[in-house]
Amino acid sequence: MKKDYLDKRYIFFRDSQRCYYCNKLLKIKQITLDHYQPRSLGGTDDYFNLVTCCKRCNKFKGKIVPTDAEVIQLKLFKRAISDCKIISRVKNVNQKSLERMLNYTTSIECKGGIAEIRGDDFTLYIEKNKVIRADGNTLEYINRSFKDEN
């Protein structure tokens, strides 16, 4: 997989240079990127659905959605936001407000290549590591940052 919106090295170092499944220490040449929730089952190309994987484990991983998929996606989503790896393409959402929204994010659902990130009062739609649409009370999170910091 070689795609311009993906930074393979980021995923490799985020995962401590180890296969997510067998924990084997790898060189970057040896890795594959595994869709934690398989693409064929709705999994997206976002950083929070991709993990470092050795070739052997990738071969044996079946086409199933792991039971902890959402927990892992939420964890990696928070990490990706903190690392400034999710870019906003919409008004009313910026890096600062994304960081603030993290505390209110409750669920992730990947379907048809798009991830829906839901919070108490917002929904973010993410495709290929970019926020492509935002519904709900997103302006509040931008304004809140001004209030707190000034």
Q: E strands of 48-119, at which residues?
A: 50-54, 87-88, 105-111, 114-119
Of 13, 8, 101, 102, the residue nearest 47 (C-alpha): 8
Of 59, 52, 21, 56, the residue nearest 35 (C-alpha): 52
Closer Cβ to Zn ion, 51 or 98, answer by number: 51
- Min dist CB 61 to Zn ion, Å, is 9
Residue 86 and residue 50 in contact, taking contact as beta carbons nearer than 8 Å? no
Contacts to Zn ion by CB under 5 A: 19, 21-22, 54, 57
Closer Cβ to Zn ion, 21 or 125, answer by number: 21
- Min dist CB 54 to Zn ion, Å, is 3
Closer Cβ to Zn ion, 53 or 76, answer by number: 53
Distance, in Å, from the CA atom of 70 to the CA atom of 49, rounded to the nearest integer, reads: 9
Distance, in Å, from the CA atom of 47 to the CA atom of 103, rounded to the nearest integer, reads: 19
Closer Cβ to Zn ion, 76 or 101, answer by number: 76
- Min dist CB 23 to Zn ion, Å, is 7
- Min dist CB 24 to Zn ion, Å, is 5
